[in-house]
Structure 1
Amino acid sequence: AINGAKAPSEAKLKKLPDQDALLAIAEVFSLGDSEALIDNDIMITCITGLLMSAPMRIGETLRLRTDCLRDDNDKDGERQNY
């Protein structure tokens, strides 16, 4: 009752993310196919998509290593990120 849908407005406002953070994520999503995204942008959009669809899985992002983005050449010699 104090944190759910019937919570007071003050409690709901405290749960909202920073406006600048929301705008930054929206900017990354708005790029779409019009511009090439850097690896960090791709990771942010993936994690954001995961948390928007399953917010109860937020703890899983804490297990990601800070250096989890890597690249290497594939069998055709093209640079691939993983």
Structure 2
Amino acid sequence: MALDPALESTFRVGQVVTYDGSTYLVISEPPAGAPDTSPNYILLAAAGETGATGAEPQEQQEQGLQVRQDRVRLSHLHQVLV
């Protein structure tokens, strides 16, 4: 559940919340403050770095076609060898 300060007083121990891209576990009831600075939360998973932009749709199609062609070749080779 994403952190909503208006609902914070309803959070229970053991509840998992997300805040600013990170995931936290509530360890004190009711929790107070922002999870990244409050002792009422434990960090479970920190937000990661922004990654590289993926391939354009045309590149993805071409890459997918290449993978399928490679699988067909391997399947054929397997049949020949067996």
Q: TM-score, normalised by structure 2?
A: 0.25
- Bigger share in helix: 1
Larger Rg: 2
Q: TM-score, normalised by structure 1?
A: 0.25
Which one scores higher on RCO, CA 8 angstroms, separation ≥ 6? 2
